[in-house]
Amino acid sequence: MAEQQLEQIEGTVEDIIYENTDNGYMVFEVSGGGVVTVVCGIVGELHAGESVVCRGRYENHATYGRQFHAQECETDMPKDLEAVYAFLASRSLPYIGAKTADKIIDLFGAEALEVIANDPARLTQVPGISADKADRIQQEFKRMFGMRELIAYLAQFEISPRRAMEVFRTFGPGAMQAIAANPYLLCGEPLQLDFRHADSIAQYYHMEGDCAQRLEAALLRTLRHNAGNGHTCLPRTQLLETASNFIHQPPEKLAAALPAIDEKVYSIAEQWKDFPGFDFVGAGTDYASAWYSHAKMIEAAGRYSMHVNTEEWLHLNFFVANSEHTGTVAFIDDANASMGRMKEALHYMQVMERPLMVVSDADDLDVPEASLVKIPKTEYEVTSPIMSFIPGALLAGYVSSMSGEPYSRGFRTHWQFAEDASAIHKSNIEIVK
């Protein structure tokens, strides 16, 4: 049987009954044509006074009676004077309540929202609203309606309002511009949306199937999938073959895209492949990246390495003599509170002529381009290791491969017992003599 066509209602939001800010689910009243309808659904964010067009179906709730279950919801700025006042008086915007709403309406009438959106300096005519408050009001107003616009925009590509809200939290008001430039950002961290959504958007903008953004995204997706299965290294040929099968592009095209991801690390590994030891340096969340990378270097290449806090490095490792053959990897997130101290460490690393690799999302580091491995920024500092782990693992894998060292030393000598995982057997620790 053919799917029943969606019904449509339109009107003004009268009242918000329930709201879940985490997933965008709301229950609200819509007034239109002399009828008040209770509407529910994942719609993002709404406020009293806003004009809405909702499409969905009527359903009978066992407790709350007849409701309109919205599957789609389009919003617009309140248009008439009454709706504008209801919106302002609803305390949806900072510093504006019922009394301030009266003053704004007295000054600007139905054009009040246009003033807020495009000329917030005029709000300073209202007693109690400073220039700083006016800017904050405009920012929140643009955030609210920017989110609505993004939800409607992504809905055409079958991206739910809940995921659209996550996209907005990640990229902010410039989300649509960022996605238009590179739809495959949606497949990366921290969103990890389905690849097909990004492909749909790319097709909308007439991007080719072998464009650089798509090829790079496919490679990163393959690496991330492999990591999710517990593997931190993937042979180059296997990476290319898997990614090729995934997006139906020749392996040679994907091979050409690889340098954009790992060329810098590969070049550094070529210079460092014979080094006897490595320092991995970081502070705060970057210390986790230093920990992880030092572990990978030991596991993959069997080389002596240390994970060192930035402060400890300055007080201890700084004084190590003859360290010109000690590979030094520094992790620096732009939002890290220890950025200033790490810049000092970088200065001394270069004065000492330490072989240097800097993994960072910052734009103002005074280090040679050949030593800098740029990683994408993440929304939160705590998630930055998700990106900085990759160069650390790549370095360990390349050093192992280039030096001819079998992964995990091929379980030689005293590691032989681990070949069949006999060290851990049925959750019992076994002593191997």
71: CB partners within 8 A, 6+ apart = 6, 41, 55, 56, 57
Domain ranges of the chain: 7-155, 182-257, 262-402, 403-433
Reported pTM: 0.52
What confidence score (pLDDT) does residue 279 get? 94
The residue among 258, 270, 263, 233 whose CA lies nearest residue 399 is: 270
402: CB partners within 8 A, 6+ apart = 269, 270, 273
CATH topology of domain 7-155: OB fold (Dihydrolipoamide Acetyltransferase, E2P) (2.40.50)
The residue among 399, 390, 370, 368 whose CA lies nearest residue 278 is: 399
Residues of the chain with pLDDT under 70: 1-4, 230-233, 259-261, 378-383, 406-433
Note the pLDDT tens digit of each residue in 62-92.
Answer: 888 889 998 888 777 777 888 888 889 888 8
For residues 303 and 329, the answer to whether their CB atoms sit within 8 Å is no
What is the rounded distance in angstroms from the CA atom of residue 231 to the CA atom of residue 3? Answer: 44
Cα distances (Å, whole numbers) of residue 280 to 293, 332, 338, 420: 7, 11, 16, 31
In terms of C-beta density within 10 A (0-12 exposed, 13-18 middle, 19 or more buried), how is residue 192 classed? exposed
Domain 262-402, classified CATH 1.10.150.20, yes or no: no
What confidence score (pLDDT) does residue 425 get? 42
The residue among 398, 322, 325, 394 whose CA lies nearest residue 359 is: 394
In terms of C-beta density within 10 A (0-12 exposed, 13-18 middle, 19 or more buried), how is residue 370 classed? exposed
**Buried/exposed 121-150: b ≥16 CB within 10 Å, e otherwise:** ebbeebeebeeebbebbbebbeebbbbbbb
Q: Give the sign of the dihedral formed by CA 74, CA 79, CA 80, CA 86.
A: positive
What confidence score (pLDDT) does residue 323 get? 84
DSSP letter string over 65-81? EEEEEEEEEEEE---SH
What confidence score (pLDDT) does residue 107 get? 93
Note the pLDDT tens digit of each residue in 218-257.
Answer: 888 888 787 777 666 677 788 888 888 888 988 888 887 7
What confidence score (pLDDT) does residue 426 get? 43
